[in-house]
Amino acid sequence: PGLYDNEKKYVIPFVVSASFMFACGAAFCYYVVIPLGFTFLVNFGGQLFTALPSIGEYVGFFTKLLIGFGISFELPVITFFLAKIGLVDDKMLKDYFRYAVVVIFIFAAIVTPPDVISQILIALPLIGLYGISIIVAKKAGKSDEDEQDSDTNSDADDE
């Protein structure tokens, strides 16, 4: 009830797409990252030592990665709204791609255990999502231009 009509048309698609992307991120984490990352961590020491994580450590590791991946997969949804309000566009995202890759790897290094495999397993999907975000921003920007063109044409028709 507190939204304008032009805002209401985005609520359902936002809820559906945000939920879908979170589920995709959680599923990717559950089926790809957790098995590979945990296997690597357990086998990391080889013959020198044996890793015996407690159930609490495993659940903490599992939960942090699952929620982190779910949230990080929201990048295209967030980019859509930032593009709609004019804060970003596809050209800007392309121009800052190199910086984004560095920031993504720094972020991945902070949120992962201290091994390169987990860092790469987080960074590569995020870089892919950044690429998807460029496409989303381009489409969101085009639809804004189309709406402005139709508004301009309808204003011209009124006169």
What is the structure's pLDDT at 115?
73
d(CA 89, CA 95) in angstroms, rounded, equals: 10
90 CB neighbour count, 10 Å cutoff: 19
Per the prediction, the chain carries an average pLDDT of: 83
Check: pTM over 0.85? Answer yes or no: no
SS (H, E, C) the chain: CCCCHHHHHHHHHHHHHHHHHHHHHHHHHHHHHHHHHHHHHHHCCCCCCCCCCCHHHHHHHHHHHHHHHHHHCCHHHHHHHHHHCCCCCHHHHHHCHHHHHHHHHHHHHHHCCCCHHHHHHHHHHHHHHHHHHHHHHHHHHHHHHHHHHHHHHHHHHHC
In the chain, domain spans: 5-147
Q: What is the CA radius of gyration of the chain?
A: 21
For the chain, percent of residues with pLDDT exceeding 70: 83
How does pLDDT run along the chain (159 residues), one tens digit per residue?
677 887 778 888 889 999 999 999 999 989 988 888 777 777 766 667 666 777 888 788 788 888 888 988 999 999 998 998 889 999 999 999 999 999 999 988 887 767 787 788 889 999 999 999 999 999 988 766 666 555 555 555 555
What is the structure's pLDDT at 127?
95
What is the structure's pLDDT at 143?
66
Given a contact cutoff of 8 angstroms between Cβ atoms, the answer to whether 77 and 105 are in contact is: no
Q: Find tokens 């942090």 and name the residue.
A: 64
